[in-house]
Chain A
Amino acid sequence: MFFTRIKRVLGLGLTNTWRNRWLSFPAVLIIMMTLVMMGTFMALGYIANTTSQALKDKITVQVDFTDSAKDDQIRELQKMLSGQAGIMATYISKEDALKDFKTRTDIKQETRDLITAENNPLPRGLRIRALELDDLSKVESIVQRSQFKSIIYNFSYEDNKLLIERVNSITKFVKKAALIVTLVFVAVAIMVTLNTIQMAIYSRRDEIEIMRLVGAGQVYVKAPFYVEGALYGLVAATIAFILLFFACKYFSGVSSNYLRELSIDANAAFIANFWKILGAELIAGATLGMICSAISIRRYVRI
């Protein structure tokens, strides 16, 4: 009996969706728009995150040492810094510094020629990178300890402090704003979807009354509407997925024009996460449709 019920409920849901397809159209459209918007906001969040990460990766601070600094003092500082979670300090010898200097294109050739291996005034240093920009303040507090003050010739954090803090606060703001906008939009979209499905069910209230009068139990009255809601969601999710796919393809081209080396290959990211995105869209669509149907039907089913 259980399987007969399942079969009948699914059959009724499928048949009703198909035969009421014009009535279902607005609901599918609204769910599809909701999913596209949710997908877009999530993609924007991902892009903002990846871009800010790329930007952060480019921000390094450097500690340059005086010639009188001893190797074990430098190693001690390197050890202390690398011991902090999320901080990486790489030692730059005089030779490394010279190599870097020779590759710099922002300095005239004549100037570059002035410095040679025999005559190398470039200081030894530590190049420090942090996973989170906030961690750089930890670096600052360690570097400025009195034990190291005498061996430090220059600390670039102080020069870039303003820029780093600004990038950090912008990144945080973008993340927060994206989350709030997404949540607000999702709430509005759910309400609109609910309203649309409610209207579709309202227009079929006579049908529900007939079902009750011929002796249909709750399962047979309600469950086909859940199936219909889930089907709206699945159809809408498939369309939304296709639209997002083309949007990502288009965005990849546009972003490389404007963001250059910071640009994200949205298309590649989409293809890499193809099944995850499709699965998430289908689950979100079916759940949204089903929940909205369940809430709507409660208003019209009185046994």
Chain B
Amino acid sequence: MSINPSSIIQVINATKRYAKGKVTALDSVNLSIDKGEFITLVGPSGAGKSTLIRLLVREELPSSGKIVVAGRDITRIKERDLPYYRRNVGIVFQDFKLLPNKTVYENVAYALEVSDEPDSVIHDKVPRILRLVGLKERSQNYPSELSGGEKQRVSIARALIHNPKLLIADEPTGNLDEKNTAEVIDLLLRINQSGTIVLLATHDMVVVRSLRKRTICLNKGKLMQISPGHKS
């Protein structure tokens, strides 16, 4: 598949092998993502979706190939510069990954605190983002006091606090009921409309069909199918 050199994100011939090369999680994957795109990533368990996400967040390095984000090969980023890169990539997980001993406000503010943002910016930004995800009234609650949907919205708020160029959502509705799923998807669409690239990994074909966005499918580590008729 061809790579569009003007794309914001380019995955070029990325292969990832584990167990000393015995297991291939990703096999020569090529993928381009343009500015403002909303992409759904589907595929059965073990297809390589999480591996691709880990490579995009630079949690892991590809065994071969490269990943270019905004013109920069992220496989070459030095360890000490990784936190700066990660502040430009928001990530949302199925299990929310909230800090259990921090309130909703503190969970979101934490991402700014560790970026050395001044207190005035934190006091201004956090309430605004909590209002955006509809959790202004729950700001002093702990994660254990929230519903699944609310937890996921906190997770999205935290991912958005740095105004990232890319928001990766790894099965964000996996633990949610129908109503909360619809709310979260609606939120992701609104985020995308504001210009953020959204990459949504999901098993839920109902969600995929309802979105009618570019869909890429991974199977056994290979990028198998792209629909509906978009470029790669």
Contacts and interface: CB of A to CB of B under 8 A. Distances in A.
B136 interface: no
Interface stretch (A48-56, A59-67, A210-218): A210-218
B83 interface: yes
Interface string B75-104: 000011011111100010000011111000
A215 B99 contact: no
Contact of A214 (B84, B85, B86, B116): B86
Contact of B114 (A19, A206, A211): A211
Interface residues of A, number: 23
Contacts of B162: 215
B28 to A, nearest CB: 27
Contacts of A214: 86-87, 110-111, 114, 158
Contacts of B114: 211, 214-217, 220
Interface stretch (A1-9, A230-238, A260-268): A1-9
B57 interface: yes
A215 B84 contact: yes
A287 interface: no
A8 B113 contact: yes
Nearest to A209: B97
Contacts of A210: 97-99
27 contacts: A1-B116, A4-B118, A5-B116, A8-B113, A12-B113, A15-B101, A16-B101, A206-B97, A207-B99, A210-B97, A213-B86, A213-B97, A214-B86, A214-B87, A214-B114, A214-B158, A215-B83, A215-B111, A215-B114, A215-B115, A215-B162, A216-B83, A216-B114, A303-B79, A303-B80, A303-B82, A303-B83
The 5 residue pairs across chains A and B that have the minimum distance between CB atoms: A216-B114, A215-B87, A220-B114, A19-B101, A215-B86
Given A214-B111, A215-B111, A303-B80, 11 more contacts: A4-B119, A12-B113, A207-B99, A210-B97, A210-B99, A211-B114, A212-B86, A213-B59, A214-B87, A215-B85, A217-B114
Interface of A: 1, 4-5, 8, 12, 15-16, 19-20, 206-207, 209-218, 220, 303
